[in-house]
Structure 1
Amino acid sequence: MEWQLVIDCQDPSRLVAFWAEALRYRPQPAPDGHPSWRDWYLAVGIPAEELGEGDCLDRLEDPTGAGPRIWFQPVPEAKSLKNRLHIDLKVGGGRGVPVAERRVRVDAEVDRLTALGARVSGSMDDPENGSYSVQLADPEGNEFCVV
């Protein structure tokens, strides 16, 4: 079975740019025989007025093939509630790595992601229990964690 992660959003191209850098993914090429996703959408019967302008680049893939594809599905409404599902970016090395070292790794990744447009929304710093993570939001407010 194949699966993909679908993220509702208002501006797919903005989130494709952010998450491609955040995850080190790449834009997914349009299906064979189509020069762009816009061309493919038109070919399968999506009306042009629903597509807006541009090439409709709204999908990412893991260049290694290990991770799921991601589709940024355009929706008219803005995000309004807390996510019930979120992504954890695991950069700290896990509990086998001392918390102080994990904190350095996590904070470096947080700095990289905030430079790309994420914003910090909280953190969990509990060295007694061996935990450190930072909660962020992408440019449209979708929550994710760096651990």
Structure 2
Amino acid sequence: MTVPFQITIDCADPDRMARFWAAALGYGLEGPPAGFADWNDYWRSVGVAEEDLGDGADSIVDPEGRGPRIWFQRVPEGKVVKNRIHLDLRVGGGREVPLDERRRRIEAAAERLVLAGATRVRVLAEPGVDHYAIAMRDPEGNEFDLN
């Protein structure tokens, strides 16, 4: 039996992170539960204090319902070390796609995500190896790869 799960990402600005990752993954911003005008109305209904409420979106969902929900949790501390887990975004199309085409697709995705707030770190490729990837960081410095 599988166990349902969500991915939780600690961050300083949930709305910015939700919008970035929605664009990166093709996800949508998650609307509030039925009967609530917005998420803050919902959180108030379950007892969350006013000072703990955020502004804007803080979760995203796969519009096709296949991928996990991702929640961006506001935390007071900043990121200080390398992630022990990261996402690999498979934008190149896989090994059945010729390497030159994969490289073109990966570079195009990198350009789009830089415009959305990401930072390129380095290209991950070696001559003679059928692999091309780009290591990147999201707007708050979390590592991810495009391959």
Gaps of 5+ in 2: none
- The count of residues paired between Structure 1 and Structure 2 equals 145
CA RMSD of aligned residues (A): 1.1
Please state how far the C-alpha of 1:130 moved relative to its aligned partner: 0.6
Q: Distance in 1 between matches of 2:30 and 2:37?
A: 12
Give the match's secondary structure for 1:128.
coil
Conserved 8 A contact 1:4-1:68: yes
Q: Distance in 1 between matches of 2:127 and 2:34?
A: 51
Please state how far the C-alpha of 1:47 moved relative to its aligned partner: 0.5
Match of 2:14 in 1: 12
Give the match's secondary structure for 1:35.
coil
Q: Percentage identity across aligned positions?
A: 47
Q: Distance in 1 between matches of 2:9 and 2:131?
A: 28
Counterpart amino acid of residue 23 in structure 2: E
Match of 2:45 in 1: 43
Match of 1:73 in 2: 73
Please state how far the C-alpha of 1:6 moved relative to its aligned partner: 0.5
Give structure 1 regions of 4+ aligned residues with deviation exceeding 4 angstroms.
Answer: none
Please state how far the C-alpha of 1:32 moved relative to its aligned partner: 1.5
**TM-score, scaled relative to structure 2:** 0.94
Match of 1:32 in 2: 34
Q: How does 1:114-133 map to 2 (within 5 A)?
A: 114-133=114-133
Counterpart amino acid of residue 79 in structure 1: K
Q: Distance in 2 between matches of 1:113 and 1:50?
A: 30
Conserved 8 A contact 1:91-1:146: yes
